[in-house]
Amino acid sequence: MNASEAAARVMVALDKPDAAEALRVAEALRPFGCWVKVGLELFYAVGPDIVRECRRLGFRIFLDLKLHDIPNQVKGAARSLARLGVDMINVHAAGGTEMMRAAAQGAAEGAEAAGRSAPPLIVAVTQLTSTTREMMNGEIGIPGEVEDTVLRYARLAKKAGLHGVVASPLEAAAIKRACGRDFLAVTPGIRPAGHEAGDQRRIASPLEALRAGADFLVVGRPVAAAPDPAAALEQILKEMTEA
């Protein structure tokens, strides 16, 4: 894999409180050809304009708003987001297959209404990478291993016609075995050597994630909070090209 192939598989999370800070990072990453991920913090602060700005800079965009509501609401939300022209959106698999199917339908309608050639990819969040087995068993009330829940949700997402799931790199290989090579594994919880885990729990290095079969690596703080985001991304790409 060369550096530009590697960059096309990295999604940098612009987890910043305002447009100026987010766009400062985005501008620095522009030459690489990576994706950007717009999440809750930035989208709630700035609104749809941040998507338009990132598109103007030429980025492909994962709009990570983790939809989870009744099917009718999620359908409408997916329709609105698809109209913005993003490349990937997501929902919580815990919302069930009817909700996930509604998301796919809404996204298709939105893309068509906006005259876009294809709707965004839709992936389902399985278990957040900040969730441990103890939390899942004791607080959320789901018994067993995290991986079993992740795989159950992945199969549900596939059944609902979604393109893949968001999960820890530690689960990527099992997801591919359960759902097939073409079913996307989008993996946050990426930590290059020497970086703090922070609130993340189920983590791996960029190279480990790739070797496990991850299609997209979501990297937030190791790049976006680095003093020099471009240098931080370059280091990650260098590691990935060894794969």
Looking at residue 120, what DSSP letter applies? Answer: P
In this structure, are residues 207 and 169 in contact, taking their beta carbons and an 8 Å threshold? no
Window of 49-57, 105-113, 125-133, 205-213 that interacts with ligand C5P by CB under 6 A? 125-133
Choice among 37, 66, 158, 176 that is catalytic? 66
Residue 215 lies near ligand C5P (rule: CB under 6 A): no
Q: Judged by CB under 6 A, does residue 188 bind ligand C5P?
A: yes
CB 98 to ligand C5P: min, Å? 22
Between CA 208 and CA 231 the distance in angstroms is: 20
Q: Roughly how many angstroms between the first and final C-alpha of the chain, as a whole number?
A: 7
Provide the phi-psi class of 194: left if phi over 0, else alpha when psi is between -120 and 50, else beta: left
- Do residues 73 and 43 make contact, with C-beta atoms less than 8 angstroms apart? no
- Centre a 10 Å sphere on the Cβ of residue 243 and count the other Cβ atoms it contains: 12
- Give CA–CA dist 86/158, Å, rounded: 21
Per-residue 3-state assignment (H helix, E strand, C coil) for 149-172: HHHHHHHHHHHCCCCEEECCHHHH
Phi, psi of 125 (to 5 degrees): -75, 130
Question: Which of 6, 7, 10, 13 touches ligand C5P by CB under 6 A?
Answer: 13
One symbol per residue from 77 to 116: x for binding ligand C5P (CB under 6 A), - otherwise; what is it?
----------------------------------------
Task: Give catalytic status of residue 75 as yes or no.
Answer: no
| CB-nearer residue toward ligand C5P: 72 or 205 | 205
The region of 17-25, 138-146, 218-226, 231-239 touching ligand C5P under the rule CB under 6 A is 218-226
- Interface with ligand C5P includes 74 (CB under 6 A)? no
CB of 14 to ligand C5P, least distance (A): 8
CB of residue 82 to ligand C5P, shortest distance in Å: 20
Query: Rule CB under 6 A: which residues touch ligand C5P?
Result: 13, 15, 39, 64, 125, 128-129, 166, 188, 198, 200, 218-222
